[in-house]
Structure 1
Amino acid sequence: MRALLMRGLFICAIFVTVWILMVMYWRSTNRMPTSSEVVLYLLVLPVSFLFGLWLIRKMTVAVTASAAAGVAAAAVPQPDDVNPPAHDDKQERTWTLAILAGALRSPHGASPDELATALKSKEARLELDTELTDSNGFPVRTGRISDIDGDAVAEVIAAWLNSANMQIPAWTAEQLRALAMGSDVLVDLVSQALTHPYLIDYVNAGTTKRSSIELPVLQLLPVFPDSWPSDMRKTVASWFMHLIEQHGWPAEKILISPMMTSNRTEPLSLIDRLSVHSHRQSLPCFCLMIASESFIGEKSINQWDAAGQLLKGKGNTGQIPGEGAAGLLLADQNQATLMDVEFPAAIHRIAQGRREKSADANGQVSAELLSELAQDALLIADTTSDKITMLIADSDHRGSRMTELMGLSQRVFPELDFNDQCMKIAADCGAAGAVSSLTALALAHQEAAVNATFTLCTSNQDAFDRTAVVIGPFIKATFDTQATASHIH
């Protein structure tokens, strides 16, 4: 609002200034201007002047953005720019990344520790929503987060977009809620990234000396909802980059991760691709991954209801709408060692597969594939089922997903108590797309790092795709040593 007011005052000042100057000129020459001169000098002239200023600013912004993109692109070499060493399949299966920090917003807590405590206490309940009803007028059970102010974030982003001469998207209420949560989680993770030991020296160094300081490029990997159009994704990605810079990370050291263009939007798959890309190309990895989603709004409820997706009554075939945000700060061995955080964890390579039959189809759901993937994930991490102390899944409460998860537990982890040692994120927090998977990883990091134990994360929300991965304590020996030359100079 303030930006719009200032812009209006500036335009008025230009017009008034031109008018005063022209009137003074006409009075000094003792002549009466013609109608065409009045239109030309009192209307066309100030409009042309304003248009010229706008055009100059647009060109300046474009040149600056192009230069920043060029610097960032040069900082992270692409596959064609390097000559990566060869790796065999066996060696590639041992590659890992470090999870340095996790952050989240959920209906039962604003941090991994708060959410884990709530889930373990069995006091996490999803209540009937006081604002939303189904087509029959009955209240809907949701995973609403009570303290989200979408209007406030809309005003802040609108002011920023106006100052950058960027178009303001037509946000829905759900998108603004997701944006508010995502911004909060991003700031939490940026505060962790700002503890990098090279940052202060880089910021204080002169422009000519910065190239000798090995501060890594901070990659931003946002996981957007499938329903968001491409122009909105670009706007939100730019907003996130602005927040990162605003909080102290140098603009020329921020880059949208190449993984953002991937067709896969499942967080476990994206992290695996990020790990492979970094290791194969011998590139440093310092990445902030974030997802945010909200289905808490009339538009989403109506869509779910019309599609038969909404939980009604006591059945277990529908889903409970949820919302939230979650993110991770990921790093390679060198960056993890430099950061020296108190509780890092290692995320191993994933095991993934695809069901032949949809889990939403009629009939019994087999846990065979998910069990095989879990066993493969154990082999990849070079550990055994008895070392796993917690099973964390993005599963919701639908009978098909619970049957599959229980089958996995009985087949592979019979020693685990399914009620006390298995967290089901979407079942307890509501369905929130990719947020449920990233929340599971944030909780797995909490368990593995703080308690020095191994945790298995699984994803079975999709009708076909299945994924499993082991999160364990950070052990330097589990990483390939990367040469110092691979750091960004």
Structure 2
Amino acid sequence: MSRRSLLRAAGLGLVGLLACWIAVVLYWRVVDIQPTAGHIVAYLVLLPLGLLCGVLLLRPAWRRMRTRDTTQPEPAKAQTAADGGGGTGVELAVDRTLYLLAGAAWMRAGDTPLAIAGALARPHRPALHPQLRDAVGLPVFAAEVEGLDPTVAERWLATDAGSEGRASRAIETETLRAIALLDTVAEDLLFAALPVLAPDHSASDASDGALHPHAMHHSRSARAAPPAAALAVLRVQLLLPSDWPAETRAACAEGLRRKARAVGYPEADLCVTVCAVEAAADVWRVLDAIDADPGAPGAGDRHLLLAAHSLVGQAAINRLDARRELLVDGLPEGRIPGEGAAGILLAPTLPAASSGPLPPRLHRPVRGMAGRGRAASRSTAVLLQAALDAAGCPNDNVALVFSDADHRPSRAIEIAGAITAALPELEPIGHARHLGLACGDTGPVGPLALLASAAAHVQADGVPALAMSLADRDARVAVLLSPAPTPAQPDDSSTGSGSGSTSSPAATPALA
């Protein structure tokens, strides 16, 4: 038990003891009893101690009963939810697991997933921005990434050496910042995918379409090893905000292709798709659409999801303020603009030549509708329990809960209540990591950064972790990340690493 829990238990015990003494003394005065030594021992010592012991003994049973009633709705309630009336609307599906081979992120909390996970243990909230102002001229809170050079985006947007610099003149500052963040994240993950390539490919294939000399001079791609023929296609999905111009999104895709060719990927082994997304919920739908069925076409392909977003710019601040979505005086539920880039590399199976620590497994996300008012925590607790049941993971095995909850009181209360109800062994504050508290609103980057940081913790500590998305107004998503079983370890639910496998997905238990 933590020090906080001990202090709280001691405080409650002292309050109960004083209340019992006051009640006994008042009773003696009312009935005019002259207490003897026996009265004092029996009513002022033994009675309070007996009451405290009874409370301590009954408290675990009460918690278990409350958790069971909260996380396991009655059949009638489950049927109401399935019919779309007043329930949580949890979407139950067959579980599937993907290996999260690598993750990368660059946000205000850190430039690596493990650094972000560590920083969230004691998050530093965003401060007032020195330049950005709202409509009345007051400074606004913003989660800005320090030390970012927006001119890096010119390499992505330039089609040749002569066009560098001209292509970015008509693009908003926040868009340039997002592309600059994406540059480092994409390059890290492209290099991370190289070890799963075969060593029998000629280096001449990568010379076509390589970056121009100025870009290669400034890019870490210049240190790329001779390219190799891929065992499977790398399918890259570039998740960019839908309010970006289509020309900018297309230029980002072409810049990514140039960088991939410079790193060592032949055209035949790379497939880049641009997805215009509006919010975090769209990213979860893209992730859920990845098929891990061994019999499906392209089942052995690897999937690289990349996202970039920035609201740290005066134009974005003006839009948020006009829609009354900015955190200002009188709007405690407003958003804090943030920025970042993140990506994850997924595969249905482990590479044949994999070495080092095994990558964690990502189970299928479980989606549901957001609750309202006091029912929000109960609905989220049901979703957390559904994610655990889908993976066959016992509640006691989960060590941390990662979420994208931010400064908004509604989100803080919701996730704290859900953790208390579904995982009473965990502390709602000490065992939770909230990405939004330190990084603000990062849009489509949030889900990938959430999974990358949670996966880094799972791989480092070897225990499962839950990820919970609360960013969307109407939808909630919960997903479990579990350590991959070692070759000598059976892949069953008793290990806490999930019952699903990449060869035969396990059925999701229904909530009873």
Q: How big is each residue's C-alpha offset from its partner over 1:334-361, in whole Å with a ceiling of 9 and x where there is no partner? A: 43x4333534110011111224x6x6xx
Amino acid at match of 1:413: L
Kindly indicate whether residue 266 of structure 2 is the aligned counterpart of residue 250 of structure 1: yes
* Separation of aligned partners in 2, 1:117 and 1:396: 17
Assess if the C-alpha contact under 8 Å between 1:132 and 1:139 holds in 2: yes
Cα gap change, 1:252 to 1:163, in 2 (>3 Å): farther
Assess if the C-alpha contact under 8 Å between 1:95 and 1:349 holds in 2: yes
Kindly indicate whether residue 330 of structure 2 is the aligned counterpart of residue 329 of structure 1: no
Cα gap change, 1:241 to 1:169, in 2 (>3 Å): farther
Amino acid at match of 1:402: A
* Separation of aligned partners in 2, 1:313 and 1:167: 38
* Alpha-carbon offset, residue 214 of structure 1: 5.9
**Alignment partner, residue 171 of structure 2:** 171
* Separation of aligned partners in 2, 1:427 and 1:206: 46
Assess if the C-alpha contact under 8 Å between 2:241 and 2:277 holds in 1: no
* Separation of aligned partners in 2, 1:291 and 1:366: 28
Kindly indicate whether residue 409 of structure 2 is the aligned counterpart of residue 408 of structure 1: no
Q: How big is each residue's C-alpha offset from its partner over 1:105-152, in whole Å with a ceiling of 9 and x where there is no partner? A: 1112111122222222x1523111111111222211110012112134
**Alignment partner, residue 239 of structure 1:** 255
**Partner SS, residue 391 of structure 1:** strand
Assess if the C-alpha contact under 8 Å between 2:278 and 2:444 holds in 1: no
**Alignment partner, residue 346 of structure 1:** 361
* Separation of aligned partners in 1, 2:205 and 2:334: 59
**Alignment partner, residue 97 of structure 1:** 98
Kindly indicate whether residue 199 of structure 2 is the aligned counterpart of residue 189 of structure 1: no
Amino acid at match of 2:502: D
Alignment of 1:29-428 (within 5 A): 93-120=94-121, 122-154=122-154, 157-160=157-160, 170-198=170-198, 200-203=199-202, 215-257=231-273, 260=275, 266-276=282-292, 280-281=296-297, 283-313=299-329, 316-335=332-351, 337-355=352-370, 363-364=373-374, 366-428=376-438
Q: How big is each residue's C-alpha offset from its partner over 1:286-327, in whole Å with a ceiling of 9 and x where there is no partner? A: 121111110000001111111111112485211111101111
**Partner SS, residue 414 of structure 2:** helix
**Alignment partner, residue 33 of structure 2:** none
**Partner SS, residue 327 of structure 1:** strand
**Partner SS, residue 137 of structure 1:** coil
Q: How big is each residue's C-alpha offset from its partner over 1:190-237, in whole Å with a ceiling of 9 and x where there is no partner? A: 111112241x31336999xxxx96621111011111312333322212
Which structure 2 segments of 5+ residues have no match?
1-91, 207-227, 492-499, 505-512
Kindly indicate whether residue 495 of structure 2 is the aligned counterpart of residue 479 of structure 1: no
Cα gap change, 1:321 to 1:262, in 2 (>3 Å): closer
Cα gap change, 1:234 to 1:152, in 2 (>3 Å): closer
Cα gap change, 1:261 to 1:461, in 2 (>3 Å): closer
* Separation of aligned partners in 2, 1:206 and 1:232: 28
Amino acid at match of 1:399: P
* Separation of aligned partners in 2, 1:462 and 1:390: 22
Amino acid at match of 2:450: A
TM score, norm. by length of structure 1: 0.71
Assess if the C-alpha contact under 8 Å between 1:101 and 1:328 holds in 2: yes
Assess if the C-alpha contact under 8 Å between 1:278 and 1:285 holds in 2: no
Aligned residues: CA RMSD? 3.0
* Separation of aligned partners in 1, 2:201 and 2:327: 53
Assess if the C-alpha contact under 8 Å between 2:333 and 2:408 holds in 1: yes
Kindly indicate whether residue 427 of structure 2 is the aligned counterpart of residue 435 of structure 1: no
* Separation of aligned partners in 1, 2:359 and 2:242: 31
**Alignment partner, residue 73 of structure 1:** none
Q: How big is each residue's C-alpha offset from its partner over 1:48-68, in whole Å with a ceiling of 9 and x where there is no partner? A: xxxxxxxxxxxxxxxxxxxxx
**Partner SS, residue 433 of structure 1:** coil
Amino acid at match of 2:107: S
**Alignment partner, residue 222 of structure 2:** none
Assess if the C-alpha contact under 8 Å between 2:294 and 2:502 holds in 1: no
Assess if the C-alpha contact under 8 Å between 1:161 and 1:168 holds in 2: no
Assess if the C-alpha contact under 8 Å between 1:269 and 1:350 holds in 2: no
Which structure 1 segments of 5+ residues have no match?
1-90, 483-489
Residue 479 of structure 2 is aligned with which of 469, 483, 488? 469
* Separation of aligned partners in 2, 1:245 and 1:286: 17
Assess if the C-alpha contact under 8 Å between 1:96 and 1:275 holds in 2: no
Assess if the C-alpha contact under 8 Å between 2:292 and 2:502 holds in 1: no
* Alpha-carbon offset, residue 158 of structure 1: 2.2
Higher helix share goes to which structure? 1
Cα gap change, 1:145 to 1:206, in 2 (>3 Å): closer
Cα gap change, 1:96 to 1:290, in 2 (>3 Å): same
TM score, norm. by length of structure 2: 0.68
Percent identity over the alignment? 27
Cα gap change, 1:232 to 1:279, in 2 (>3 Å): farther
Assess if the C-alpha contact under 8 Å between 1:401 and 1:460 holds in 2: yes
Q: How big is each residue's C-alpha offset from its partner over 1:8-50, in whole Å with a ceiling of 9 and x where there is no partner? A: xxxxxxxxxxxxxxxxxxxxxxxxxxxxxxxxxxxxxxxxxxx
* Alpha-carbon offset, residue 368 of structure 1: 2.7
